Amino acid sequence: MDYIILDIEFNGRKFASDKPMEVIEIGAVRLNESLQQVDEFSSLIKPVYFSKLNSFIREKTGIAQEDIDVAKGCVPVFRAFREWLDRSEACTFVTWGGEDMKRIVLDTRMHRMDDAYWLQSDYYDLLKIYLRTRGLTNDVSVEKALEELGIPAQGTAHRALDDARMTAEIFRSVFPDIQPETDARRYKDMYSNAKERRMVKNALRGLVVQKVQPTWDIVAEKLAKAKVDMDNVKKAAELKAYYDVEVEKPIKPRPPRPERKPDGEQPEASAKAQPEGAADTETDSGEVDAALPEGEQQ
């Protein structure tokens, strides 16, 4: 059994465009059963919908537009990647979050390639495993995890191959705590997106603040008013299932807003705002982009 540590970078304007996000770089490291690196794969991919890189992505990754312009398209790169993967008799993928497998599946469908291989592939969401082993509830970056483990970060963050190499270091560290029977998973389509699920959580929080007993009917009405397509039976059922889980959790109040300074000046923001339209990097393990070509959504 080999382990394929996979990382991708993608480009687009999530929630700010009807056009889908696209994979623009694949990086992967192959580890053998002894967790020794055997070889690696790396390739840029020329996007179709956004030929020019989002400025946020360009600055974040350091990928040059000139390199993207001369890169091969998705189909030949994905085929080359599959040929590289087939050198392993059997393998399990390892990713930091669920976004990587999702993007691979969606781009496979977008370019009318067979997705069966990916739907039948087991993978470990190393982020979830790491959070469990550390007793954490909030997501952390690869760089932060390395820092917490006392492992020096090497290479360039947010470049696919370097991120895969760094993720491999974390994988080796937490490998003894992995539970294959329960940690192995497969990609599953989802019909709601992260934004809609946050709306469910925010609606619950609002009802609690108003001292109104939450019910699904109230939340569903709020979602419909916010233009969520509640006539989509699969989406509505998925959001209802998400509500059923969230309503059982204690609702955490929002942190109080910082007080104004005496002279009327606004306090400094606690974090830099992400540019409008920049890619949302939340690790969301099955969100389907609404803009995939007709017939591609499940």
Neighbours of 217 (CB within 10 A): 8
C-alpha to C-alpha distance for 160 and 81, rounded to whole angstroms: 14
Residues 174 and 37 in one domain: yes
Residues 14, 19, 21, 25, CA torsion sign: negative
Q: Give the C-alpha distances (Å, rounded to integers) separating 38 from 4, 193, 204, 225.
A: 10, 37, 49, 53
Cα 257–chain centre separation: 29
Residue identified by tokens 């990587």 is 100
Contact 92, 3 (CB under 8 A): yes
* Final residue in a domain of this structure, among 158, 185, 212: 185
The answer for residues whose C-beta is within 8 angstroms of residue 284's C-beta and 6 or more apart is 98, 99, 102, 193, 194
| Residue range(s) defining the domain that contains residue 213 | 192-259+282-290
In a domain, 270, yes or no: no
Q: Are residues 155 and 216 in the same domain?
A: no
Same domain, 93 and 201: no
115 and 213 co-located in one domain = no
Q: Quick check: is 264 in a domain?
A: no
What residues are paired with 94 via a beta bridge?
5, 124
Q: Is there a single domain that holds both residue 88 and residue 179?
A: yes
Residue finishing a domain among 143, 159, 185: 185
Phi, psi of 203 (to 5 degrees): -65, -40
Tens of pLDDT along the chain (298 residues)? Answer: 999 999 999 998 765 677 889 999 999 999 999 999 999 999 999 999 989 998 999 999 999 999 999 999 999 999 999 999 999 999 999 999 999 999 999 999 999 999 999 999 999 999 999 999 999 989 999 999 999 999 999 999 999 999 999 999 999 999 999 999 999 999 998 899 889 999 999 999 999 999 999 999 999 999 999 999 999 999 999 999 999 999 998 876 666 666 665 555 544 443 333 433 443 333 344 433 333 333 333 3
Number of domains, the chain:
2
Tokens 């360039």 correspond to 156
Given 185, 209, 233, the domain boundary residue is 185
Q: What per-residue confidence (pLDDT) applies to 12?
A: 82
User: Same domain for 112 and 254?
Assistant: no
**Cβ contacts of 57 within 8 Å, gap of 6 or more:** 9, 10, 11, 24, 63, 278, 279
206 within a domain of the structure (yes/no): yes
CATH number of the domain that residue 141 is part of: 3.30.420.10
Determine contact, residues 48/71, Cβ cutoff 8 Å: no
Q: What are the start-end ranges of the H helices in the chain? A: 55-61, 65-69, 74-85, 99-110, 116-119, 126-134, 142-149, 160-174, 180-183, 194-209, 216-225, 233-246
For 248-264, the pLDDT digits (tens) are 988 766 666 666 655 55
Give the N- to C-terminal CA distance of the chain in Å, as an integer: 31
pLDDT of residue 19: 83
272: in domain: no
Q: Are residues 93 and 231 in the same domain?
A: no
Query: Is 0.85 topped by the overall pTM?
Result: no
Q: Are residues 224 and 82 in the same domain?
A: no
